[in-house]
Structure 1
Amino acid sequence: MDLSNLTIKQAHESLKTKQFSATELARAYFDRIKDKDEEIHAYLSVTEKLALEEAAKVDAKIADGSEFGLLEGVPCAIKDNILLEGAKCTAGSKILANYAAPYDATVIRKLKKAGAIFLGKTNMDEFAMGSSTENSVFGPTKNPHDLERVPGGSSGGSAAAVAAGECVYALGSDTGGSIRQPASFCGVVGLKPTYGAVSRYGVMAMASSLDQIGPLAKTVEDCKTVFDAIKGKDARDATSASPTTDYRPPTTDKLKIGLPEEYFAKGLDPEVEKLVKGAIGKLAKQGARVEEISLPHSEYALACYYIIMASEVSANLARFDGIKYGESSINNKQLTTNNLLDVYLTSRGQYLGAEVRRRIMLGTYSLSSGYYDAYYLRAQKVRAKISQDFKQAFAKVDLIMTPVAPTTAFKIGEKIDDPVTMYLSDIYTVPVNMAGAPALAMPVGKIGKLPVGLQIIGPHFSEELIFQAAQTIEDMLE
């Protein structure tokens, strides 16, 4: 039996019927990581001791004949900006190369309660800043479908680990597309939940008004299972929320789907468009009504995002200064530090990567006296317009469907020296974060050997409807 292709449900049933133990399952995944990960580089560190200890507890429970949950004994991977107590948490940065998490993030606490087995921490763009996982100081992750191509970013390690069968599911974070774009490039399912649906407590903040933790999995059903385990209001995160009303999703035959004209315009690969529209057509065959809509302010989303996100980055990353957090130039005898300012400047200059420094400088400039109104304030006004566009669209349709990215995965090194071209790979995902809406990426076919993803966007707290539509498409594509 090939254990690397198991879904959560299959793993659960096999544990239940004692086809293998939780310990054997965990060991099989560690063997797979040892065998495959040298070429893929999805993991930054593995937590074998912790995983085998937890697996032994699950085995004892099964031996007792006790009831055990769907996620108990099922191995998963965690993006390296989410705190797992006692494990290294580097956020892909040299400044945190030796940082160990002092406590568990809320999502980790919830998964521990559900009996999850943590295999290790996955690679990512430094502090989640990037769209290719090439900005990791520990080297790039490779796409399991083509080792010369990127897995997407910034949650590239998590997406690649799921796609390569190096875990059953994984957690990532999404600030402007960092779950959905790698899910699309690697051919897995990834959900960016409604802003506030999942607690951010214990995730390293990049842009606090945009960040959201979500699952990456092999199937829509698995993605839903993990989301159900991690969602919910948390007293430790003031921005977390629970839906105020019971959302009753319409059935597929009564579904109204909007296709925004701005997302099917110049720049979209015709082959990607064909596969995406083909998948949407399958819902139409089930009776869903498809109509063209407009999200007129989406064209400004990327420009606004890079001002708002960079501004929040400049504030959030101020703590990594060699004194409060992170590696310090004081410990480096080759660097001259005569005073506290020297320590700050040399620590940040030496241990933060180029993309992180670029965004800190851009954000600091946008917030500086004399430029605040021209940049940051104006960007926030346009953000309100983008949210309004989505609100008006959802008054007419139930779901919006678009491509996840304009192209399939690009080659490693192809865009790394041109930041603007790299930023454009998030053009279809960024507006969703600006509006705080939920969106799911799922595979709908391949161009050659490279996967193509469909993005399903819903109103706030409509994850149930998104999963329902995605499940229908997944069933029909099979």
Structure 2
Amino acid sequence: MESQIHKIHQQLVSKEITCMSLIQEKLNALKENTHNTVNSLLDKMALELAERVDAKIESGAAIGLLEGIPFGIKDVYMVQGTYTTASSQLLKNYKSAYTATAIQKLLDAGAIPLVKENCDSFGHGSSSENTIFGAVKNAINPNLVGGGSSGGSAVNVAKDYTVFSIGGDTGGSIRQPAGYNNVYGLKPTYGRISRFGLMAYASSTDCVGPIAKSIEDIRIVVNVMSGRDIKDQTTYESKIITDGSIAKNQVKTVGYFKNFIESDAINPEIKEDFLNTLETIKEKGIQVKALDFFDSDTLVSTYYTLAMAETASNLSRLDGTNYGNRIEGENLKDTYSITRSKNFSEETKRRIVGGNQVLSQGFSDEIYLKGLNLRDQIATNFENDFKEVDIILSPVTPNTPPIIGDSLKEPLAMYLSDAYTVGFSLGQLPTLTAPQGTSTGIQITAAKDNDEKVLQFANFLNDIL
């Protein structure tokens, strides 16, 4: 699909449309939508910003590429003066005191935020059903889940309610819902974009990333958000990705993990489609190589061991004292217990309990330290793989989107649905979901800080599939 950002920019510059009419149209669509994608509308802010853009155009001044472009924000990002609920009961009335760095960069570029988007509470889930605002409904079939945890963000883009949305990806939370709704979703290299102002789930794998309908729009948004931030010491200065640099494919060798495809858990149609995609790539003169990797159970176990430990630590601050909906008990300890018991979702409580278990005395050496060791082994495996191949391809998910309600009945099945995404998160690698190759998309991964190569190969796939 062509770039919506470029298209709208030209329409604004040529006065074919006004920014006010564009923003009002999108706000109306969001208000009327039946997919449960909206936690709160930022209508007052959006209309005020749109008025300024129209005044600037009317004065004859030039506008930037992102000025006047409407976008959505997953409801785990701070935006000063707006509700930031994390789709949770605990923070349902919490207002941000500051703005996340990545969002501020978009605001500085003139983009207009429309909506705080529904998601799994605190990012805990793979279906966007663990939310006080009601399950997000799939953009293609509303009887199915929207994916998670950035489900509202993916559905809003797929339904054209937003031009792009900013999701958060810890173990696949941008890539999986993007695949379920047939749009692009990028988890950039860890540290490329500041996490400051993003509610932490698992700090060592949390990534800020965009969801959009075109590779060009992904490129534009990533460039604006990237860069070193003194408020996030994991960030680094990355080079700008130009449109010319991703226009011509330079990938010569593609790898895939044969155990992903030979697994009994993969849907037969997804397997067949993926293998057909590999054949099409071979026909274009690119070498395809089968690679060995850790089995899915090991990847999922390692990821959730570390992620649960980190979320138990990160959410320990939410006890109703400084943040959140406080429920008084008979004493302070009772107040803490009741506040957290009543306000956290069942899934969040499950992850906190699991995290505290693996960090507890007598278990940390046996479980947590083993998880850290496996993570190092996974990173080493990737380093060796990228000496042999330029890109790794994989299905995004082993199965198609489940019916709403099914995932809540089987938490373990929900965790296993992340089997093909969590490994790349543990490796902190740039990974893009492209809406081709299988019914839930295809995952394109490169070595660290090779985000450009990922977008380059996505362009190539878009041309041949």
- Whether TM exceeds 0.5 here: the answer is yes
Q: Which residue of 1 aligns with 2:258?
A: 261
Does residue 1:196 correspond to 2:180, yes or no?
Answer: no
| 1:286 CA displacement | 3.3
Structure 1 residue 445: Cα displacement:
5.9
Change (3 A) 1:407 1:342: same
1:23 counterpart residue number? 20
CA distance in 1, matches of 2:143, 2:464: 31
Question: How many Å separate the matches in 2 of 1:322 and 1:112?
Answer: 31
- Alignment-derived partner of residue 71 in structure 1: 66
SS at match of 2:417: helix
Contact 1:275–1:444 under 8 Å retained in 2: no
Distance across 2 between alignment mates of 1:28 and 1:277: 42
Counterpart amino acid of residue 180 in structure 1? R
**Quick one: which of 303, 315, 318 aligns to 2:316?**
318
Matches within 5 A, 1:8-87: 8-35=5-32, 37=33, 39-87=34-82
On the 8 A contact 1:403/1:428 being kept in 2, the answer is: yes
Contact 2:251 2:391 in 1 (8 A): no
Measured on the aligned residues, the alpha-carbon RMSD in Å equals 1.9
Question: How do 1:34-433 and structure 2 match up within 5 A?
Answer: 34-35=31-32, 37=33, 39-243=34-238, 252=249, 254-266=251-263, 267-296=265-294, 299-330=297-328, 337-433=329-425
Say whether the 8 Å CA contact 1:252–1:283 is kept in structure 2: no
Secondary structure of residue in 1 paired with 2:40: strand
Among all aligned residue pairs of Structure 1 and Structure 2, give the percentage whose two residues are the same amino acid.
38
The secondary structure found in structure 2 opposite 1:94 is: coil
Count of aligned positions: 461
Deviation at 1:280, TM superposition (A): 4.0
Within 5 Å, which residues of 2 pair with 1:441-452? Answer: 441-444=433-436, 451-452=439-440
Distance of aligned partners of 1:82 and 1:245 in 2 relative to their CA distance in 1, 3 Å threshold: closer
Q: Which position in structure 2 is the counterpart of 1:463?
A: 451
Return the letter of the residue paired with 1:42. T
Structure 2: give runs of 5+ residues left out of the alignment.
Answer: none
Deviations 1:8-34 (A, max 9, x none): 121111112111011111011012112
Paired AA for residue 263 in structure 1: F
Could you say if the C-alpha distance between residues 50 and 250 of structure 1 is closer, same or farther in structure 2, counting changes exceeding 3 Å?
closer
Distance 1:23 1:373, change over 3 A: same
Q: Secondary structure at the match of 2:320?
A: coil
CA drift at 1:475: 2.7
| Structure 1 outlier segments of 4+, above 3 Å | 243-251, 277-286, 296-299
Q: 2:4 aligns with which of 3, 7, 12?
A: 7
Q: Distance in 2 between matches of 1:133 and 1:246?
A: 31
Q: d(CA) in 2 for partners of 1:475 and 1:18?
A: 32
- Supply the distance in 2 between the matched residues of 1:277 and 1:82 (Cα, whole angstroms): 38
Distance (whole Å) between structure 1 residues aligned to residue 189 and residue 171 of structure 2: 13
Q: Secondary structure at the match of 1:44?
A: strand
The separation in 1 between residues aligned to 2:332 and 2:200, in whole angstroms, is: 25
Distance 2:21 2:87 in 1: 30
Q: Return the offset for 1:275.
A: 2.6
AA partner of residue 447 (structure 2): P
CA–CA distance in 1 between the matches of 2:104 and 2:123?
22
Q: Which runs of 5+ in 1 are unaligned?
A: 331-336
Kindly state the Cα deviation for residue 203 of structure 1 after the two structures are TM-superposed: 0.3
Q: Partners in 2 of 1:185 and 1:421 — Cα distance?
A: 16
| TM norm structure 1 | 0.93
Say which SS state the counterpart of residue 406 (structure 2) adopts. Answer: coil
| Distance in 2 separating the partners of 1:471 and 1:245 | 17
Task: Name the CA distance, whole Å, in 1 between partners of 2:297 and 2:319.
Answer: 36
Tell me which moved more, 270-279 or 299-308: 270-279
Question: Cα 1:305–1:406, aligned 2, differ >3 Å: closer, same or farther?
Answer: same
TM-score scaled to structure 2, two decimals? 0.96
Q: Does the CA contact (< 8 Å) of 2:125 and 2:149 recur in 1?
A: yes
- 2:362 maps to a residue whose letter is G
Distance 1:252 1:111 in 2: 29
Q: Is the 1:329–1:346 contact (alpha carbons within 8 Å) kept by the matching residues of 2?
A: yes
> d(CA) in 1 for partners of 2:24 and 2:448?
40
